[in-house]
Amino acid sequence: MGSSDSSSDDASATTTADASDPSSTASGIAALISSDTASGATTEGDTSASSDDSSSVSLGSCEPLTLVYARGTGEPGGPMGALVGPQLSKALKTDTGGKVSVQGVSYSAGIAGDIDLGASGSPAMASLANKVLKECPNTKLVLSGYSQGALLVHNALSTGKIEGSKVAAVCVFGDPFNGQSFKGVDDSKVVRYCGSADPICDHNGQKNAGGSHLGYSKEASAAAAKVVSITNSGSATSS
């Protein structure tokens, strides 16, 4: 399935189970995420990777592959979060022989960002991604996000803040708009994970991972391998 050129309104690309009432959809997403965040539930899988794997782009280095990642709502651990980002970063570094730059998006990641469907956080992602594309024109850009972070990816692309044709791959976890296309990015370049017990990403009934909304760390290695394959960035090909 190819990408879809939907409206560039800040709340675009938001067709969900109740597409006739986007505000209701947003409120439902926010309530579910708030409940998970407030519960203090522990994550599943490996959460040992450092959340400090997020500085290489800001320091000006250019690698063959660049990951720009946005954490989920209320997630601790700095811009890369703690539940998925550090594990994905670690796996990509292993699979590429270290030839990857990683940067977490600095944004508030509050409930308001769920209500506005990523519109308030997407400018920060776009600014970072466009900086990468300007300063490292030969790098392959990967946009990634978990939960609200996935909304940032949708919004940044649907509103034209980032040109989809310049994105090498998209990788999302627990995406509230699970199953929807990313404007300008062919679906063959998209990696999605939606847990079998994750109500936040189950709007379209598409599940391809086990576990809950807090359990995606265990999918990081497989996700990294898919991204490397899509971008042809393995250690044997990126030297």
Sequence-distant (6+) residues with CB within 8 A of 43 are 82, 83, 214, 215, 217
Q: Note the residue count of the chain.
A: 239
Say whether 198 is catalytic. yes
Residue 162 identity: I
CB 149 within 8 A of CB 191: no
- Which of the 8 DSSP states describes residue 43? P
Of 36, 198, 212, 238, which one is the catalytic site residue? 198
Of 202, 212, 213, 238, which one is the catalytic site residue? 213
Say whether 203 is catalytic. no
CB 203 within 8 A of CB 178: yes
Say whether 147 is catalytic. yes
- Gyration radius of the chain over CA positions: 16
Active site residues: 147, 198, 213
